[in-house]
Amino acid sequence: MRNLRQAAILIGLLIGLTGCHYADLSGAGAAAPVDDVYVTSTEPDRLGIVQFDRGNYALAERYFRDAVERKQGDIDSWIGLAASYDRLKRFDLADRAYAQALALGGPNASVLNNQGYSLMLRGRFNEAAARFHRAAELDPTNQLIVNNLALLDAVRQKYRR
């Protein structure tokens, strides 16, 4: 139990370098700084992104949920919803949102990477590794996936000690 707690602490410390990234599918490139973004109330997907970036995961979940209710085919919002649920430790709901994103867009690198991160947060390291490796096969130059693989190796090493 103590090793699992230490692994969770290590994951928390390294989250800044890695993690779930709901915006990978947008293709929009670098986003404007969060404080400089004007967001209208009719854009729940955009509000979700802003709140997620600010660390307000419960608000992000609310906005992403509204976005997918308005437009169920919005893969980015499903990924954002799942990532928000991960940060809220609502893994049961995250799994449902990831399943919906996979149903809409197939097994792409973003969804597989986020699923791997979610599984890693739960301590399901072998399943996480399988998702990360599959994501790396699809997008071998994606630095977020590379970082998540390194994080997983570090957590596994710490957990074994």
* Per-residue pLDDT tens over the stretch 83-122: 999 999 999 999 999 999 999 999 999 999 999 999 999 9
CATH of the domain at 6: 1.25.40.10
Domain count, the chain: 1
Contact 148, 125 (CB under 8 A): no
**What pLDDT sits at residue 19?**
54
Dihedral of the alpha carbons of 26, 17, 53, 97, in degrees to the nearest 10: 60
Contact 102, 71 (CB under 8 A): no
pTM of the model: 0.76
Residue 158 burial (C-beta neighbours within 10 Å; 0-12, 13-18, 19+)? middle
> Which stretches in the chain have pLDDT values below 50?
4, 6-11, 13-18, 23-34, 36
88: domain range? 2-160
**What pLDDT sits at residue 39?**
53
**What pLDDT sits at residue 41?**
58
